[in-house]
Every structure is written in structure tokens, then in C-alpha cells.
Structure 1
């Protein structure tokens, strides 16, 4: 079997699509709009409630088991708000993400990062905290020329996002919310990162 492209997606429960009645999450929706000549192997490696500390400690072992020794290996990092829940400093969060990206780069694994979306309980506790965390993550990626999808700012005042989260468990989106996340990913460099024609539909 040809190795082809292998994409590992690491992150918290948003990577697993928790709360989506269709079970697609944003990854399933993105892949449904990603047309390639050869199939792409996608592994969703989610850990509920994971901070960047946990992610940094485990991603390489799990991803290397799915990557091919001679293939086109890629890593998508889906970030959430758990760092704030656990009281991690911005410096620690930045370092954790930087370590992931630097180790991946050293292994010639191309990276794509999706930032944390709004989360009512975290945003209500400190409205500035999650935007600051997202900016910190964005800066880490910018310094390494790695695509970063900002999701908090576009969804911060988006009525459909907040209604969808409120209709569920109050923390995670449903079908509409994951659709919005997928749209942001698709329109912020996804196809370019994969070396495919852009999809602006």
C-alpha cells in the first residue's frame, strides 16, 4: 500500500466533535470538502479536557504510530481553552505549543493550527483571557510560518455559534457550530496547506 498523505489531528474534545449529533465535528466537515486524487488517511487523536501540557507530552508517540516512514506526514493541532481552566500561564502555553511545532518541524512534519473558539464559562470568567491566549498561539505560529486559524474573534459575537452552544451543554457546539468552525478552517489556508486548489464555495 502506498503511504500517501497521513494527517494526525490532536487536541481536546472539539477534535472529536463532542456534541455533534451527526458525529462529524469540524474535521469530518472539512474532509468532506477536501477533494484529492488519492485518499488521505486522517487520524483524530482527541483527549477530552486536554491542556497544551498534556498535548505536548503525548502527541509525538501517538502520531508516530500513524505516520509513514516515507510518506507525506502532517499534523493538525486543535486548541481549546483548557489551559485557562488549569491556570497555565501564557508563557507556558506558548512554550508547550512551540515545543510541539518545533519537534514536528524537525521531523519534517508540516503543521496546521486551529485556535480556541469562544467558550461561555471561560469567557464569562475573564473576557480578555481567551482572546489573549489565541493571540499568543497565533504569534507562536506566525514566528514559524505555520498556518493559524483564528476562531475566537470571528465567533465571539456570532449569534448562531452562541445559540448552538446554549442549546447543548453550554460549552460545546452542535452541528451548526461545527459547521462554522469548518468554514473558518476551509477559508483560512487549508487547501493551500495541502497543496490543493482553493475552495471558496
Structure 2
């Protein structure tokens, strides 16, 4: 690639986005089947983006599980044209109780897993958007999730990746917590996922615009 500065905006082109994470990425609990990821995809397509998206959330996946599969999952979906970006979201399963009563994944290990993914993605030329973990109905676990959220966002920003926190706004009064309490204690319905999508949408639009026309002058 040339190091010369770009003086004209690049023409918009096709873009592929791979969403990696846990049951929240999969949209578990949403009777519409949209979750938050497909709502963001619909927003992008409505705004004219030539977007191919792959939501690849797996129930009970921790950061270690996502790290173990991210490269294989992404490589299988690399397009022949256009650019690819990763949206990564995990942390709640890391913070839930393991067999010893502590978190399933230690906090430092969770951060190290994100760091390894970010380094690998950078080596592959892939931009990453990190979406922080949402709250569940267990406030003891949420206290751990808050630590995970802060550390993951700091790590993402240290690597120049875009990071969005959703924990605080979703813990406040609103459809996410109401629906989580009314359901299985972890997953909301459609209104809750719509609220999460709304929190991520501004950063998503900016991040995606950089993928579509990476050399554009703003």
C-alpha cells in the first residue's frame, strides 16, 4: 500500500461484517429474530450500504471461546471484493460463576483474549468494533460485568479500535431490564434488543462508513 496521502474520497464499495460473540449476539429471546445485530444491518442497508453480514453468536461462549474460533470463522467468510470488519461482543459469560464460585474466566484473561483477537485482526487488516457486555438480572454478576466492560473498552481504545459501552444505559430504567426480569433473567425481548441497537447505532454508522470508504476525507 502507498504511504501517499489521499486527496479524494474513495468510491463506496461492498463491505462484509462478521459479528462474533455470545447469545446476545445471536439475539436469543427476541421473538422477532432480529436481536441487535440484524437491526444494525437493516439500518445500514436502508442507508444504501452494500453490506453482507454474518451474525455468529454462540450461546454460553466466553471470550476464550470466541478467540478460539474467530480466525476460522472470519477466514471462511472473507469476500473476494470489498473490505471486512469484525464486531466483537462478549463478557457476560466470562463473569458468571464457574465451578469454583469465581468467574468462568478471570478478568485479566478476558482482557488478554480481547488483546490477542485485536492483534490478530490488525495483522489481517481487519477493523474491529467492540460492543461491551449488557447487564443481566443478577446484580452480583453485573458488578463483575462492569469491571469487564471498563477493562475491555480500555483495551480496545489502546489498540485504536472503536468501543461502545452499553451496560450503564441498559441497567437504568428501560425495556432491557424489564424484559430480562420477565424472561429468563438474562435475555430480553424485541424492545430490549432495539434499545441496545439504538445505543450502538451512532458508533456503528461511523465505523461502517470507514469500512465502506476507508480513504475518504471527512
Settle same-fold status: TM greater than 0.5.
yes
Q: In the aligned structure 1, how far is the partner of 2:166 from the partner of 2:73?
A: 26
Q: Secondary structure at the match of 2:29?
A: coil
- Residue 16 (str. 1) matches residue 43 (str. 2): no
TM-aligned CA distance change 1:127 to 1:17, over 3 Å = closer
Q: Which runs of 4+ in 1 moved over 4 A?
A: none
Q: In the aligned structure 1, how far is the partner of 2:66 from the partner of 2:142?
A: 25
Deviation of 1:179 (Å) = 0.5
Compute the RMSD of aligned alpha carbons: 1.8
Structure 2 unaligned spans of 5+: 1-12, 211-218
Check conservation: 1:4, 1:38, Cα contact below 8 A: yes
Q: In the aligned structure 1, how far is the partner of 2:52 from the partner of 2:82?
A: 11
Matches within 5 A, 1:27-176: 27-34=37-44, 35-85=46-96, 86=98, 87=103, 88-121=105-138, 123=139, 125-176=140-191
Say how many residue pairs are matched. 192
Q: In the aligned structure 2, how far is the partner of 1:62 from the partner of 1:155?
A: 29
Check conservation: 1:14, 1:80, Cα contact below 8 A: no
Structure 1 unaligned spans of 5+: 197-201
Q: In the aligned structure 2, how far is the partner of 1:23 from the partner of 1:94?
A: 30
1:111-142 per-position Cα deviation (integer Å, ceiling 9, x unaligned): 10111011113x2x355211111001011111
Deviation of 1:165 (Å) = 1.0
Q: In the aligned structure 1, how far is the partner of 2:208 from the partner of 2:36?
A: 17
* TM-score scaled by length of structure 1: 0.89
Larger radius of gyration between Structure 1 and Structure 2: 2
